Chain A
Amino acid sequence: MGIFDGIISGFFIALTPMNLLFALLGALIGTAVGVLPGLGPAATIALLLPITYSIASPVAAVIMMAGIYYGAMYGGSTTSILLNLPGEAASVVTCIDGYKMAQKGQAGPALGIAAIGSFIAGSVAVVGLTLFAPPIAEFALSFGPPEKFALALLGLLMAVTLSGESVTKGLIIMVLGLLFGTVGIDPISGKSRFDFGVTELQSGFDFVTLAVGVFGLGEIFYNLEQQGNVEIVTTRVGQVFPRMADWAKSRMAILRGTLIGFFIGIIPGGGAVISSLLSYAVEKKVSKHPEEFGHGAIEGVAGPEAANNAASSSSFIPLLTLGIPGNAAIAMIFACLLIKGVKPGPFLIVEHPDVFWGVIASMYIGNIMLIILNLPLVGIWVQLLRVPYGILAPVVILFTAIGSYSIANQAFDLYALIAFGVLGYVLRKLKIEAGPLPLAFILGPMIEGSMRQSLLMSGGSFSIFVTRPISSTIVALFAIFIVGQAVLAIRRTGRCSKAQKAA
């Protein structure tokens, strides 16, 4: 069966009333999960797994699960923009300019462009998934430890560019993130580090707890201080939909974000985060007004949001063609399929063409459902900001706590959440942009682990990073970036001192 016949047969499967219903259900639950702070797709799918036992057809079950997963990516931007609450790793970047836009009364355009960008990226990525799944899967496999090391290192460099005005503060906060990342059992030596005898810490801190605590709770604690005039965004909602000018600015950002997300997002473990970071950095670089970034640049929302949606679609490729789940939520879908007697992997397309093509076709339909669902919702979400802060804040805290607990079903994460909230508050007081913290937290262990794995592979020789084509290319990019920045900085100071002398 060719690709064309395949996708046509897939549409026949996905368009049956039952499967349409499950796709809609997935889109609805996904949007809700994305919007509720702290509650992630992985925890939700795990909760719903027992329900799928009684859904007779595996196609329907997976259509719903997949809908929850990419639907959460649509909804995830909502809390990032409105409340500075990143629901998952890939939307940390969205917080930076999205929340600034909301504070300026441009929550509507930010949410609108995020939804439109998500739709375009999601749809384009599904087309890519339809046409090129197998060769792209091979590309993902070619990322071994040296390549991951180089990529994560590049990501870390990008993370520092998020630090706003002061690079020094950015570096400080980055190191803090790296330190938090070292807590727990080190896979390479098997030793538990910095656990202070607390069993729960042996698995390290959880990303969602850290991000939601530092960003969301920190923001709420900070606002508590502003007695009486906690208007944050409340009174200035502004217009609801993006204007033509916003669209003109974001068009190319969405396109670039889609491409970056599709290719980088496929790399198992951390691909989606790096792709959103990379997209942000690229937009800042190509922009004619890079100084607007960090102060509510719409491209800074459009690009990364497109990237993380494209990544959420392309992360299905290793699952469907190789049987390798790339992240926690995809692992859940993997489990659901296995329990249903369907084995994802190279034979899926032959053994269960109905599942393979049906799910892919449903993703076209699901993306359309999501944009129809999300665009009108923008108006409603924006109204959410009119809810008095005294009501909104406790509700947000409640959901964050539930979400945080649901990750590992342990009360310890609630204490960690509060501690990270206090940290977020302190950073806010010190006027330190917290963006690099969660990113360094995720990238640090990737860098450390993959570097030590690479050196074990090469017998201790660092040449492994420059003798392999992909990693040497990324390392070269990294070097060019560093040298370029240094040269720029030297020239700038040189010009300044000359100017001073002239004056």
Chain B
Amino acid sequence: MKRFLISSFFTALVATLMLAGTVSAQDKYPSKPINGIVPASAGGSTDLMSRAIEKVWPKYCPQPLVVVNKPGGAGVVATEFVVRSKPDGYTLYLGYGSGHDIVMPHLQKMPYDPYKDLVAIARISVHSVVVVTGTKSEFNSLPDMIAWSKKENKPITTSVSMKAGAQDITITAIAKAAGVNIVTVPFAGGAEAVTALAGGHVMLGAGHPSEVAPHIKAGRFKPLAVALPQRDPSLPNIPTLKELGINVSTWGSVKGIGAPAATPKEVVAYLEATLKKVTADEEFKKIMADLDQPIMYLNGADFAKFLQEVHADYGKLIKELNITIQ
């Protein structure tokens, strides 16, 4: 009996292996789970967006998308990993268009070219920069605060998530455009920057909608402006800086999907189509709304063009504002 069991087990095993071999040889993409590399640690806004995709993905694809966090080197480790991985469509870059793709290349040498070495598959969202102040603040608008600062000759302290990141650059641009003295206080990440403003330790704060919207709804923050060219679809009641007469707009941080440049065209097309279905899914829309991340889908070609524009915009701003990391 025992011998029978063992032999039947091995027969089954061999049969399965043979079957698996034929399946993977004949079946077309995707025939195994797809790894989605996230350039940030779990729990942040890029990770949350990736998790939302991961959750809805199985509805539209026979193989799962598996989120892998590689937060090393401020995100560069993750992107470099994707750039150097096999271009077979099983390693994707989730969060293409983050700060280290659109801002960092202007400030330091990169170990790869974030545009030539990657192919854009789809844009999922744009994380704008929202300017907020505490509810207890005596100022109800950005022009009021700027007028006070000029009159009293006192600087406006502002918490930002890091030095020379999208938020810091946007705030510095506001200071230059309005001719006012703003001191940006950089923190180690968005959560810390938001906490400092919530505690009333700085006068002004900048954050992505996912970071500040919960505090706006909780009555802790007063929203003052959005730095996009148009209003943010996730916060439609907040005016843009241009509406307030401050001629500044940035794209904040872009969140799309990329793959190694040499990935086959039909694989890219498949992923692009799948992501289009994911972004149109009701459950995905609900999660993204809960996360305060607007869905702003663009197809691969348009996304690639958009990335170039955003990259060039930041290059111009960084030159104008003379931002360096010293």
Contacts and interface: CB of A to CB of B under 8 A. Distances in A.
Contacts of B88: none
A324 B195 contact: yes
B287 A341 contact: yes
Nearest to B109: A197
B186 A408 contact: no
Interface in B204-263: 214-215, 217-220
B214 A409 contact: no
B185 interface: yes
Interface string B269-293: 0000000000000000011001100
B43 A187 contact: no
A202 B72 contact: yes
Contact of A143 (B70, B111, B199): B199
Contacts of A323: 214-215, 218
Contacts of A42: 42
Contact of A338 (B163, B164, B199, B291): B291
A42 B44 CA distance: 13
A456 interface: yes
B267 interface: no
B40 to A, nearest CB: 11
Nearest to B289: A341
Contacts of A203: 71-74, 77
B149 interface: no
Contacts of B108: 192
Nearest to B194: A324
B188 A187 contact: yes
Nearest to A47: B42
Given A189-B326, A190-B107, A408 B291 contact: no
A459 B155 contact: yes
A412 B189 CA distance: 23
Contact of B70 (A185, A189, A331, A408): A408
A199 B72 contact: yes
B323 to A, nearest CB: 9
Contact of A409 (B70, B165, B201): B70
Nearest to B181: A459
Interface in B64-94: 66-74, 76-77, 80
A210 to B, nearest CB: 15
A46 B214 CA distance: 23
Contacts of A141: 195, 198-200
A345 B52 contact: no
Contact of A332 (B42, B194, B195, B198): B42
A442 to B, nearest CB: 12
A185 B74 contact: yes
A200 B71 CA distance: 9
Contact of A190 (B68, B163, B185): B163
Contact of A456 (B51, B185, B215): B185
B287 A457 contact: no
A408 B70 CA distance: 5
Given A343-B290, A345-B218, A408-B72, A187 B66 contact: no
A53 interface: yes
B198 A191 contact: no
Nearest to A337: B290
Given A191-B326, A449-B188, A410 B218 contact: no
Given A191-B326, A202-B76, A408 B69 contact: yes
B192 interface: yes
Contacts of A201: 73
B48 interface: yes
Contacts of B42: 42, 45-46, 49, 328, 331-332, 335
12 contacts: A45-B42, A49-B42, A141-B199, A190-B165, A203-B73, A324-B191, A328-B41, A332-B43, A445-B188, A449-B188, A456-B183, A457-B201
Interface of A: 42, 45-46, 49-50, 53, 141-145, 185-192, 199-203, 268-269, 322-325, 328, 331-332, 334-335, 338-339, 341, 343, 345-347, 408-410, 412, 445, 449, 453, 456-457, 459
Closest 8 CB pairs of A and B: A190-B163, A144-B201, A331-B43, A141-B199, A190-B325, A199-B73, A202-B73, A46-B42
Given A190-B164, A456-B185, 13 more contacts: A45-B42, A46-B69, A49-B67, A187-B163, A190-B107, A192-B108, A201-B73, A202-B73, A202-B74, A203-B72, A408-B41, A445-B188, A453-B187
Interface of B: 41-44, 47-48, 51-52, 54-55, 66-74, 76-77, 80, 107-108, 111, 155, 157, 162-165, 183-189, 191-192, 194-196, 198-202, 214-215, 217-220, 286-287, 290-291, 325-326
